[in-house]
């Protein structure tokens, strides 16, 4: 099998999967090492595929979805409500990032699509003995949210505004 054929199999597998696929699993599936899969993922990204790395594996994101960056602020106790608000209205929380005045932009991929993903995220936070990234910026953070339409994104933003989670973007936080 050529590298091009193998990468086609990897893309097909990711398109058909509803769950992240680990590099080891993709390697077993294509009869190569995990490191070869990592190199294939890099080549696929260079070809324009939007592949997200999560702690549970690789996900091919839908390039036909709409995205919006929102800045939010809330306590750690409101994290579940914030995430449920987004996914219950049809959104996916693609990532989280903070703009720290000393560390700069710190970003983590999430790809939270449903309440099960929220539960797994919370378990990862608890077992990893970590706290949410928003804690280094006093609860302020950004989410890239994707959805099937701009209307869904509008509904999500309205719900976050109603719950008083939306925050003002400061001049130093504006991305070029």
Mean pLDDT over 77-87 rounds to: 97
* Pairwise pLDDT comparison (33 vs 124), residue with the higher score: 33
In angstroms, the CA 116 to CA 118 distance is 5
Mean pLDDT over 8-37 rounds to: 91
Mean pLDDT over 73-95 rounds to: 95
In angstroms, the CA 172 to CA 170 distance is 6
Q: pLDDT above 70 covers what percent of the chain? A: 95
- 73 among the known binding-site residues? no
* Pairwise pLDDT comparison (156 vs 4), residue with the higher score: 156
Mean pLDDT over 136-162 rounds to: 93
* CATH number for the segment(s) 3-60: 1.10.10.10
- 143 among the known binding-site residues? yes
In angstroms, the CA 160 to CA 154 distance is 10
Q: Tens digits of per-residue pLDDT, 132-147?
A: 888 888 899 999 898 8
CB 158 within 8 A of CB 86: no
In angstroms, the CA 86 to CA 107 distance is 19
Domains in the chain: boundaries: 3-60, 66-173
Going by C-alpha positions, the residue among 20, 92, 12, 87 that lies closest to residue 57 is 20
pTM: 0.66
- At the fourth CATH level, the homologous superfamily of domain 66-173 is 3H domain (3.30.1340.20)
């Amino acid at each position: 099998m050529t590298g091009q054929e193998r990468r086609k199999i990897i893309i097909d597998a990711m398109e058909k999967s509803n769950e992240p696929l680990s590099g080891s699993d993709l390697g077993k599936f294509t009869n190569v090492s995990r490191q070869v899969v990592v190199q294939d993922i890099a080549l696929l990204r260079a070809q324009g595929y939007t592949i997200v790395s999560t702690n549970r594996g690789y996900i091919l994101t839908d390039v036909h979805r709409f995205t919006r960056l929102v800045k939010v602020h809330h306590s750690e106790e409101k994290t579940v409500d914030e995430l449920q608000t987004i996914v219950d209205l049809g959104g996916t929380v693609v990532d989280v990032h903070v703009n720290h005045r000393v560390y700069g932009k710190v970003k983590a991929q999430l790809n939270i699509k449903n309440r099960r993903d929220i539960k797994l995220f919370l378990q990862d936070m608890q077992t990893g003995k970590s706290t949410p990234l928003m804690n280094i910026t006093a609860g302020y953070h950004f989410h890239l949210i994707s959805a099937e339409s701009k209307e869904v994104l509008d509904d999500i933003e309205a719900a976050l505004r109603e719950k008083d989670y939306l925050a003002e973007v400061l001049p130093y936080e504006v991305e070029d």
